[in-house]
Amino acid sequence: MTTTLRPTGPERRDRDGARARGYEVCVNSRPVGTVGLTADARSGPAVGRIEGLRIAVPDRRRGRGTVAVLAAEEVLRGWGCARAEIAVPEASGAALRMAEALGYTEFARNLRKRVPGDPPPLPAGSESRPMNATEFTAWRRQAEESYARFWTGRGIPAEQARAKARADHARLLPDGVRTSGTRLRILAHEGADTGVLWLGLGERAPEGVDAHVYEVEVAEEFRGRGHGRSLMLVAEHECRAAGAETVGLRVFTDNTPAVRLYASLGYETALRLLAKPLL
């Protein structure tokens, strides 16, 4: 039997280099599932995503999903992608085993937590305040530089990484500190500014959660003193004040201190993100 991908419609493309197309997974021309492919400007056109792979129940456990992923990789190679990414729900053990068997390795996790009804208070001597416009200008410049360095460290060319950093911050913070559904807070401890929290609420949060922590950054000279935990408590208080019941974030698995911090705060893995080089 032959497993192939059959387009369900025309390819969608835009001026930023993004492209997407949906496919039926077919066995001898018989549809047995669906999958979507995207390559977008957020991570650069060299990164392709395999999304929403579904195989009909009667056709599972027959290798259909494995062959569909391999076929999807060939399509992404044809698009010029050098890396494929796939997201696997935490509850889908079979999908995770399949991805790992195909050479995918985990690079990040989406975490989720129900906001407590009465979050713990901040430690003595710590308090938070809204970021003002002057502070925002300095913070955004540093945040974009840090974000661009992160992506260059993962193989994206420097110019493309800088463009991505500018575009992502412009998209998520179009009105600066006045962006609706956004909380930008500075943590101070005993009079010294120690870190920054960037929280998105409602429409600024991804699907599936009421709020999303985009950034928790502790100044280098204050790290290792519990201020990251304090910033996460600030996030919980902001969520509770806004009526948000759930909060999420993304953590990269090579950031061991952050992984341990979020686990200690009760965050649970909702989604695992895996990647594979397309040689």
pLDDT over 60 (residue 41): no
27 with 99, same domain: the answer is yes
Q: Tell which of 64, 88, 111 closes a domain.
A: 111
227 with 123, same domain: the answer is yes
pLDDT over 80 (residue 86): yes
The token pair that represents 209 in the structure block: 């959660």
pLDDT-derived band at 45, boundaries 50, 70, 90: low
Instruction: Give the pLDDT confidence of 167-191 residue by residue, as tens digits.
Output: 899 999 999 999 999 999 999 999 9
Element (H, E) at 39: strand 30-39
44 with 145, same domain: the answer is no
State the Cα–Cα distance between residues 198 and 183, nearest whole angstrom: 6
This prediction has a pTM of 0.89
Q: Which residue has the tokens 């999958």?
A: 35
- What pLDDT is stored for residue 109 in this prediction? 96
For 78, the domain range is 3-111
Instruction: Give the pLDDT confidence of 199-216 residue by residue, as tens digits.
Output: 999 999 998 999 999 999
8 with 93, same domain: the answer is yes
Task: Answer yes or no: are the C-beta atoms of 218 and 228 closer than 8 Å.
Answer: yes
Q: Provide the number of structural domains found in the chain.
A: 2
pLDDT over 80 (residue 16): no
State the Cα–Cα distance between residues 163 and 145, nearest whole angstrom: 11
Using only the alpha carbons of the chain, give its radius of gyration: 21
